[in-house]
Amino acid sequence: MIKFLPKGNLFWLVLTIGFTLISFYPVFNPPALPGGTMPDSTFPLLAGPLHAISGVLAAWGIPKWAK
């Protein structure tokens, strides 16, 4: 995408930030577990950094290593 579009880097950053923000929806609005119970109250504290770190790594690493 970065190689073929004139503003591919900007387009990639917007897409990555958008998907990262969308991935936070289940972190702060957790669905019920298969047994019908709700996740522990520490779930957002554990899952939130995972989504933030993966989004930053995708925004930085994929364009760097895809060249």
Q: Which one, of 18, 51, 46, 26, lies nearest residue 10 by Cα?
A: 18
Neighbours of 30 (CB within 10 A): 15
Q: What is the pTM of this model?
A: 0.73
26-38 pLDDT, tens digit each: 888 888 888 888 8
Coarse DSSP helix, strand, coil percentages of the chain, rounded to the nearest 5 percent: 65, 0, 35
Encoding tokens for residue 8? 């591919």
**Mean pLDDT of the region 12-29:** 90
Q: Which amino acid is at 13?
A: L
Given the structure tokens 């060249």, which residue do they identify? 67
**Mean pLDDT of the region 7-26:** 89
